[in-house]
Amino acid sequence: MPDKGLLIILSGPSGVGKDTVLDYVNSENENINVSISLTTRTMRDGEENGLNYYFVTREYFERKLNEDAFLEFAEYGGNLYGTPKAPVDDMLNKGRNVILKIEVQGAEKIRKLYPDCVSIFILPPSLAVLENRLRGRCSDDEESIQQRLLIAKEEMKRSLEYDYVVINDDLKKAVGDVVSIIAAEEFKTSRNKNKIREVMNYE
């Protein structure tokens, strides 16, 4: 156990499989909590309040914004999305590891607030594979797919700002890679000063 929990940022372009990787990592490592964001968008079929998101009213979200309750927030398609600060700090202080699934701008903000955090960018094996995945999963028209790919490319360029890159070619391997990264970070000397002191504390 490290001295304090790790804050882990997970990013990657739309279609790369972040959610699936995250689900498996979460089920494989019992010391991980996934941070649940708040959103003002409508709940979709199959979604659950408190599992995928906390679904709240715009009025509630804006009140929380005024109370400075978010680590970061953004507006997409007329809906607000935000990462609540208190539960993240609470879990970290209890020594638990917390994963935030977040896009590149949000990651930039979190990195400034938590310079000690660990950031992982999930890449597709190639842009061609990402394009196929996007075509396979959405019923969008050609223009909209091209638009998504353009955004994906811009995001992927920013993978260089992350501590680690994991290529999601094989899901099982990608999950294992993320689990290894989290495990290794727990052995960083800088995170284990109390433990080293304990070992040495014997005359």
Residues that bind its own copies (CB under 8 A): 120-121, 123-128, 153, 156-157, 159-167, 177, 179-181, 183-185, 187-189, 192-193, 195-196, 198-200, 202
For residue 128 the two structure tokens come to 């061609």
Rounded to the nearest whole angstrom, what is the least distance from the CB of residue 72 to its own copies in the complex? 21
For residue 119 the two structure tokens come to 């950031």
Rounded to the nearest whole angstrom, what is the least distance from the CB of residue 113 to its own copies in the complex? 20
What single-letter DSSP state applies at residue 125? S
For residue 175 the two structure tokens come to 């999950």
Rounded to the nearest whole angstrom, what is the least distance from the CB of residue 177 to its own copies in the complex? 6
Rounded to the nearest whole angstrom, what is the least distance from the CB of residue 13 to its own copies in the complex? 11
Give whichever of 51 and 199 is closer to its own copies, judged by the CB atom.
Answer: 199
Give whichever of 56 and 152 is closer to its own copies, judged by the CB atom.
Answer: 152
Rounded to the nearest whole angstrom, what is the least distance from the CB of residue 93 to its own copies in the complex? 22
Residues sharing a CB contact under 8 Å with residue 37, sequence separation 6 or more, in sequence order: 53, 54, 81, 82, 83, 84
Enclosing H/E stretch for 150? helix 142-157
What single-letter DSSP state applies at residue 2? -
Give whichever of 38 and 100 is closer to its own copies, judged by the CB atom.
Answer: 100
For residue 34 the two structure tokens come to 């996934």
Nearest to 176 by CA among 49, 28, 63, 72: 28
Give whichever of 100 and 149 is closer to its own copies, judged by the CB atom.
Answer: 149
Give whichever of 89 and 186 is closer to its own copies, judged by the CB atom.
Answer: 186
Locus of tokens 């809906």 = 79
